[in-house]
Structure 1
Amino acid sequence: MDQTGLHIANDADGFTETSGLSFEGLRQYDSEAIAIEIEQCDDALHFLYAEKIVTAATTFLSKFNGTSLYAAKANPHPAVLKLLWKTGMRDFEVASVREVEQIHALLPDATLYFMHPVKSRKAIRTAYALGVRHFAFDSLDELRKIRQETRNAPDLALHLRLSVSQEGAEYPLGNKFGATLIEAPLLLVHARQISEKLGVTFHVGSQCLDVTAYHTALKDIARLLEGAGLSVDMLNVGGGFPVAYPDMPILPLPDYFDGIQQALTEFGFDKLEIFCEPGRALVAQGGAVAVRVEMRRGHSLYLNDGTYGALFDAGQPGWNFPLELYGGGRLGKSDEMALFEFYGPTCDSIDKMSGPFSLPADVAEGDWIIFRSLGAYGYAMQTRFNGFYSETTVAITAETTSD
């Protein structure tokens, strides 16, 4: 470490001497404050915390009784993907041909699962040529495309995406994808004829706060298979594993794992090949985003990032995040707090985060607001609208005081 607090990577992998599992290729700092001062970034500044991501990945790899697939859409930064690989993650859920190509190039020995149920023909062909064998579908049309574009390949592992209740989810994912329980038997019969292995998959919705949602979905699937006299080889319980945001109390992840395992045993699925697809739960607490206050008008703060950038979840679903203020060399300013609304930097009036968000009352232009627990769907969802975006991601080596 030099006098500025910046860690200098100096070994063959690009890691620092002081770290164990760390991020490859990122500048590393002792704290967010030091990073803000040295980077002098005019855009938002993305932070990553290796220890938090390693802890979350280890939890899934050691305690979930099945195969955990990292949902790459949550945060596809190369440093994150490489760190997960070093942690032991070998399986990745992808939703586009670009994700297939990125991970195949970066981690050629990874097993990829193309779980988007509607894919272009070129995407199917390319994925299969690159070694992908697991494909999701939710219609006869998609099944036909897979069969045709893989040229009747004999080694396909096909997963029927089912529509299930989204009742326990803070961010429902229903209506767009998923075959109904009525449509499912015919689809499974057709898929069995062209697959080496056959499975079903579902998603209870993002940020699911009700562990019984998995039990309900598995109960419906058991009734479906028993009623139709069908069997499957694989079962994917999807994602939805939550993160503790303000105002969203959650159960510990092992409670979810136990609830899922109990349901699998109860309905006779425990002998199948079992998968899950964590995204948010793996990386949310492993990242944060610092944004600068460009102007204050009363209790409205104008920021250099917004809903077209890393702060989509703060604007559209209106979620709150743990916040800290950095102003002039220290985190936090006055003891008096006030409530604020935020505006992003684009010309669009919907680029707004209503909150209200609690910050020190004397927040001013030039201060930086750190949105914690934003390692998921922050870096991944930013656009280049109006020319506002950030390409700056750094690693923070010291543990943070809050999640």
Structure 2
Amino acid sequence: MAPSVVTQEQPSVPAGDLFRYESSSHCKSVSVPASAATPNTNLKARAMIGQALNTQVSNIDLDECDPGDEDSFFVADLGEVHRAFNLWMQHLPQVQPFYAVKCNTDRKVISLLASLGCNFDCASKAEIDIVLSLGISADRIVYANPCKTNSFIRNARTNGVQLTTVDNSQELYKLAQYHPGCGILLRLATDDELAQCRLSTKFGCSVATATHELMPLAKELGLSVKGVAFHVGSGATDLTSIFKAIRDARQVFDHGLSHFGFDMSVLDIGGGFQQDSFIEASAMVRRSLDQWFPQDFAEQHDVKFIAEPGRFMVSNAFTLAAHVIARRDCDELPMLYINDGVYGNLNCILFDHQHPEASVLTHLGEFVYDQRSTSSRKDFSIWGPTCDGLDCVSSRAGLGHDVAVGDWLYFSNLGAYTSAATTSFNGFKSVANVIYVNSESD
């Protein structure tokens, strides 16, 4: 069966607002109609991805193709994005997801998420422009960057973006001058020491700074503090950091309500969620909200809960295929050179602490995707195409074939913080083509 390649126009985007989902169950996991990732679903997804990879590679004649025809490429399964969104709504229906656009700026992904009801976390003018260009209304965007360029603030005001994050007094002065009507979320620092990617070293203020410096100044400037934001870092292993951050947020809420009369009605719990730990993390979120933002308090102050998942929605949806352009046999490990690397779509190795696992896609013209080789394991080091010695994809990779020049490798689960951060260093193409399939289609 041929893969269901998505070629239709962008899906229509329903009109909406900043807070799209409200659940009658305050903080409990509820059942929602969702297509779970059953074994049959996974088999269908792998089959569709494999067929798309095979079709693309089979159409490339390495002896006759034009320069660049054999470049690396992605296969994206939009069905995986759909299932990730459903999983979120199953376990955190009371928390409105705002997809972190910086994670992956693919327009079909953004359009799909918008059609499902997701809103968007944007950190720059360019990200805001992408979302708006797809017909998504500005009231579904939070400008979640605590330190913004003046012209970007003016652009947000012009385009109707009405919510942003702040962690310092200078930002309040800028908002007072350039976007005084914008709602403000005070960004708190968190205990993210055990997170894979820490953020509080760069952003976030203390509870004391929020309550005794920023709130009085905002009141003096006539600005509207709407609530609190935080981020416990990507890949957080200490889930108590979520509990502590929500506890701190309640303290700031109480101060804003009692001392300044602010309309404290938004709690942004940030991102960093991963599918392999989501059940435990979502349970901690529900427990923490139950304790610090119980239903009577949330209803009294009309508190809305939002989050900024990025990798959670897309990490498993993209598979990268790369061509083996050279091999060098050495005394220790044979070295494979592929046409993508840490300056391209595998930059996650440097920037996101990822360790992509290589598998063999084709060997000597035979398509071996998702197959277990009967031959013994062969170890290689894998290198990118640039002339920089830093461009190492893997110092040791065990592959099931004695890979040769002309073979193809593939890397699964490369949807997060990959294509969004590529460079054109050494003149190599920075943006890979994407082939779309949808394992949720009939």
TM bracket, shorter-chain basis:
0.7 to 0.9
1:265 equivalent in alignment to 2:290: yes
Match of 1:311 in 2: 346
CA distance in 2, matches of 1:128, 1:198: 17
Tell me if the contact between 2:4 and 2:437 (Cα under 8 Å) persists in the aligned partners: no
Task: Assess, with a 3 A threshold, how the Cα gap between structure 1 residues 11 and 383 changes in structure 2: closer, same or farther.
Answer: closer
| Percent identity between the two aligned chains | 28
Is 1:278 the equivalent of 2:319?
Answer: no
1:22-41 residue CA offsets vs partner (Å, 9 max, x unmatched): xxxxxx98432222223664
Q: How large is the RMSD of aligned CA atoms in angstroms?
A: 2.8
Mark the CA change 1:326 to 1:264 in structure 2 (over 3 Å): closer, same or farther. same
Does the alignment pair 1:396 with 2:424?
no
Match of 1:246? none
Q: Is the 8 A contact 1:29 1:35 kept in 2?
A: no
Question: Over residues 98-152 of structure 1, what are the superposed CA-to-partner deviations in whole Å (9 max), with x where a residue is unaligned?
Answer: 11111111133251110011111100001111110011111110111111112x3
Determine whether 1:167 maps to 2:193.
yes
1:295 to 311, 326, 338: 326
Encode CA deviations 1:360-383: one digit per residue, 9 max, x unaligned.
241222222211111111221111
What secondary structure is seen at the aligned counterpart in 1 of 2:320? strand
Q: 1:12 to 1:341 in 2, by over 3 A?
A: closer
Deviation of 1:322 (Å): 4.2
Question: Is this contact kept in 2: 1:118–1:137, CA < 8 A?
Answer: yes
Q: Report if aligned partners of 1:296, 1:364 keep a CA contact under 8 Å in 2.
A: yes
Equivalent position of 1:190 in the other structure: 217
- CA drift of 1:48 comes to 0.4
Query: Secondary structure at 1:339's aligned position in 2?
Result: strand
C-alpha spacing 1:317/1:301, structure 2 compared with 1 (3 Å): farther
TM-score, normalisation: structure 1: 0.84
2-side partners of 1:57 and 1:169: how far apart? 23
Match of 2:136 in 1: 108
Equivalent positions of 1:97-136 (< 5 A) are 97-109=125-137, 111-136=140-165
- State the distance in 1 between where 2:409 and 2:392 align: 15
For residues 69-108 of structure 1, the aligned pairs below 5 Å read 69-89=98-118, 91-108=119-136
Q: How far does the alpha carbon of each residue in 1:195-241 deviate from its partner, in whole angstroms, 9 at most, with x for none? A: 44521111111122333221122233345556786573211110010
Alignment partner, residue 35 of structure 1: 56
User: How far apart in 2 are the matches of 1:166 and 1:9?
Assistant: 39
Q: Which whole-Å deviations, capped at 9, do the CAs of 1:296-332 have from their partners, x for residues lacking one?
A: 2243221111111111223455532343211122225
* Structure 1 SS opposite 2:145: coil
Question: 129-138 or 184-193, which moves further after superposition?
Answer: 184-193
Deviation at 1:7, TM superposition (A): 5.4
Which amino acid letter does the alignment assign opposite residue 435 of structure 2? V
The alignment covers a number of residue pairs equal to: 375
Aligned CA distance change for structure 1 residues 76 and 10 (closer, same or farther; 3 Å) = closer
Give distance in 1, aligned partners of 2:223 and 2:90: 30
CA distance in 1 between counterparts of 2:195 and 2:170 reads 29
Change (3 A) 1:348 1:133: same
- Gaps (5+ residues) in structure 1? 21-27, 244-249
After TM superposition, list the pairs within 5 Å mapping 1:328-347 onto structure 2: 328=365, 329-331=367-369, 332=371, 333-347=373-387
Q: Which residue of 1 aligns with 2:356?
A: 321
Q: Kindly tell me: are residues 14 and 62 of structure 1, through their superposed partners in 2, closer, same or farther at Cα, counting changes over 3 Å? A: closer
How far 1:12 moved relative to its partner?
Answer: 6.2
- Match among 195, 200, 206 for residue 180 of structure 1: 206
Letter paired with 2:317: G
For the pair 1:237 / 2:237, whether they are aligned, the reply is no
| Change over 3 Å in CA distance of 1:112–1:42 after alignment to 2 | same
Task: Measure, in 2, the Cα distance between the counterparts of 1:10 and 1:319.
Answer: 31
TM-score (norm: length of structure 2): 0.77
> SS at 1:259's partner residue?
helix
- The structure with more helix, counted as a fraction of residues: 2
Task: Give the superposition deviation at 1:350.
Answer: 1.6
Q: String of CA shifts for 1:8-32, please: whole Å, max 9, x gaps.
A: 76766699xxxx9xxxxxxx98432
Q: 1:316 to 1:363 in 2, by over 3 A?
A: farther
Answer yes or no: is the 8 Å Cα contact 1:318–1:355 preserved in 2. no
Alpha-carbon distance between aligned partners in 2 of 1:395 and 1:233, rounded to the nearest angstrom: 39
Q: CA deviation at 1:56?
A: 0.5
SS of residue matched to 2:142: strand
Asked if 2 retains the 8 angstrom alpha-carbon contact of 1:44 and 1:290, the reply is yes
2:170 to 141, 150, 155: 141
Partner residue in 1 for 2:82? 54
Separation (CA, whole Å) in 1 of partners of 2:255 and 2:141: 32
Residue 273 and residue 195 in structure 1: after superposition, are their counterparts in 2 closer, same or farther (change >3 A)? Answer: farther
How far apart, CA to CA, are the structure 1 residues paired with 2:5 and 2:289?
48
AA aligned opposite 2:289? L
Secondary structure of 2:55's match? helix
Amino acid at match of 2:322: V
Correspondence for 1:383: 423
**1:350 maps to what in 2?**
390
